[in-house]
Amino acid sequence: MNITFIKDIKSFFAFKRNIFKFQKTKINFTEEYKIIKPSFTDLYESWTPFLVQERIDGSDYNIVKYADFFWGIHIAEGNIDYERISETETKHKLFIGETIEEITYLIRNLKNNSDQYSKNYVHVWKNCYSFDKSNNSKLLSLFPNSPRLKSRNLPRIDLFELEQSIPILILSPAPSRSCNYRCEYCFNHDYGFRNRSPEMESWSKTLITAVEKIKNPLHLTIGSSGEPLYQKLWLETIQEIHQYDHVETIAFVTNLSADPRKKIENLNPKKFGILATFHPSQFKDYERDTKTFIERAVELKEAGFQIAVNYVLIPEQIREFHNLKAMFASRNVNMICNVLRGPYNGKIYPEAYTEEEIEMVRTCHDSTPYVWDYQSLSKSPYGQRCTAGRWGFQLEFDGSIYNCVYSRQKLGNIYDDKVMLYNESCYCDADRCESQCMIGMMDHMAQNYRIEKNMHTFVVRDVPGKNIVL
């Protein structure tokens, strides 16, 4: 069976913009399906129901991703929510599993009234059932190309018992969306602009905990969903973690509207990688603000910070990229670009690019064709081997650890006694990979490139490698 995903990008970004309020509660499922709802009042992707597949094999069941699990839900039940599954017994059987294939198999057997059905499921809670994992080999034989099933069979190793010479890359963006810019193409601009919040307090505590518990060399990409240099708690947090000897890299994104000399002047520049985002649409005086931006970027470079400049290829800005790149290059500063993704001026990108714009955007990535391939959705990471979850992972503000933000194969929590990472590169089951840092973690990228401290630019290797930061 070929696994297909809902690829309605408009629905995807609508999903990404939802904001939910939660109460801290717990469902007493089995230990395997322990579900604890957080107390945060903010975007929390795990608790955003996301339709994955509709009417499996022509049945009346849909598959939904929710609370880090896949669910098989009868269409008569309506939308899934925490209160429904924790307090009310559904009229129809409800299925829960770690993979799409588990749910598909149970629905298929239920639909066909298979005699083997009762031998392949276990009771979890009220009218909720899961696949009997003692039959994993049978499931893999039915779905031999399933990335998540293949990943589940990989050997594991405890994060806290790794050989301490192995560097670990942690992606942990701060949840604050406080920002002085209002870029229409920003993924986060409609989330609100709170600065200090329970989510930020939790992120700071979680990140410091990770630094204290993990003794391996750490490379941290810990920007913000807003402008970090205006966020007091973010600055306080990097001041603290920067003092640890095994923290080798702290990477973040900034629009340089704040003078970095006044914010991070007392920190060791050799530990920092900065991606400076150039947003001329937000400049009040283009010539003056451009001059200030260039001066600050050059000053950081000369002070020893590893820096690159980023530029979003909105239609109005595409033609300027090559001139700007040459201008920054003359000052010994590298400039890269991102394909426009998501809503902009009432259209959804990259689909809305004209043929002429597509060709121009492609030429902007002449030196980084791999970025074009994945950000333009020309290529999918589905099924590819990746070092995410092995030598790097996504750390969310509540401590949850996933292999990456797209595949979201949950590995544990930083507050757990053990966190079982993959001991081999996992198989990606995401249909898209748009972050330049995450693109760099794919096996074929890690073999051919090494990522720089800003976590967005790459150096071609002389000999093949494995770990993206080595």
Looking at residue 19, its pLDDT comes to 31
Angle (nearest 5°) at CA 48 between 46 and 52: 90
pLDDT per residue, tens digit, the chain (470 aa), is 333 333 343 343 333 333 333 333 444 455 667 777 666 655 567 778 889 999 999 999 999 998 889 999 999 987 777 666 766 678 889 999 999 999 999 998 888 775 555 677 888 888 889 998 888 888 999 999 999 999 999 999 999 999 999 999 999 999 888 889 988 888 765 445 455 688 899 999 999 999 999 999 999 999 888 899 999 999 999 999 999 999 999 999 999 999 998 898 889 999 999 999 999 999 999 999 999 999 999 999 999 999 999 999 999 999 999 999 999 999 999 999 999 998 999 999 999 999 999 999 999 999 999 999 999 999 999 999 999 999 999 999 999 999 999 999 999 999 999 999 999 999 999 999 999 999 999 999 999 999 999 999 999 999 999 999 98
Answer yes or no: do 401 and 426 share one domain.
Answer: yes
* Total tally of structural domains belonging to the chain: 2
Answer yes or no: do 43 and 128 share one domain.
Answer: yes
Strand partners, 125: 128
Looking at residue 117, its pLDDT comes to 56
Answer yes or no: do 165 and 141 share one domain.
Answer: no
347 with 316: CB under 8 angstroms? no
Residue 91 domain-assigned (yes or no): yes
CA distance 168 to 78: 42
By CB neighbour count within 10 A (0-12 exposed, 13-18 middle, 19+ buried), where does 139 fall? buried
Answer yes or no: do 127 and 255 share one domain.
Answer: no
Residue 411 domain-assigned (yes or no): yes
For the record, the structure tokens of 369 come out as 């064709």
Answer yes or no: do 142 and 168 share one domain.
Answer: no
Answer yes or no: do 138 and 216 share one domain.
Answer: no
CA distance 333 to 315: 24
Residue 55 domain-assigned (yes or no): yes
Residue type present at position 322? H
Looking at residue 116, its pLDDT comes to 58
Answer yes or no: do 123 and 213 share one domain.
Answer: no
Residue 324 domain-assigned (yes or no): no
Which residue has 């509207």 as its token pair? 257
Answer yes or no: do 197 and 226 share one domain.
Answer: yes
CA distance 301 to 298: 5
From 116, 151, 186, the end of a domain falls on 151
For the record, the structure tokens of 462 come out as 């002389």
- Those residues with Cβ within 8 angstroms of residue 458's Cβ, 6 or more apart along the chain or in another chain: 368, 440, 445, 449, 450, 451, 452
197 with 226: CB under 8 angstroms? no
For the record, the structure tokens of 100 come out as 């799409």
Residue 106 domain-assigned (yes or no): yes
Residue 332 domain-assigned (yes or no): no
From 151, 166, 187, the end of a domain falls on 151
387 with 468: CB under 8 angstroms? yes
Residue 307 domain-assigned (yes or no): no
Q: Tell which residue, 458, 435, 416, has the closest CA to residue 160.
A: 416
Strand partners, 349: 342
For the record, the structure tokens of 272 come out as 């920092």
- Those residues with Cβ within 8 angstroms of residue 171's Cβ, 6 or more apart along the chain or in another chain: 221, 222, 392, 393, 394, 395, 404, 405, 437, 438
Answer yes or no: do 145 and 246 share one domain.
Answer: no
Answer yes or no: do 225 and 266 share one domain.
Answer: yes
Residue 268 domain-assigned (yes or no): yes
CA distance 92 to 73: 8
User: What residue numbers bound the domain in which 58 lies?
Assistant: 9-151
From 128, 151, 174, the end of a domain falls on 151
* 3-class SS of residue 345: coil
Angle (nearest 5°) at CA 80 between 96 and 408: 55
Answer yes or no: do 372 and 252 share one domain.
Answer: yes
Residue type present at position 143? F
Residue type present at position 146? S
Answer yes or no: do 267 and 383 share one domain.
Answer: yes
CA distance 219 to 252: 11
Residue type present at position 366? D
For the record, the structure tokens of 395 come out as 């750390």
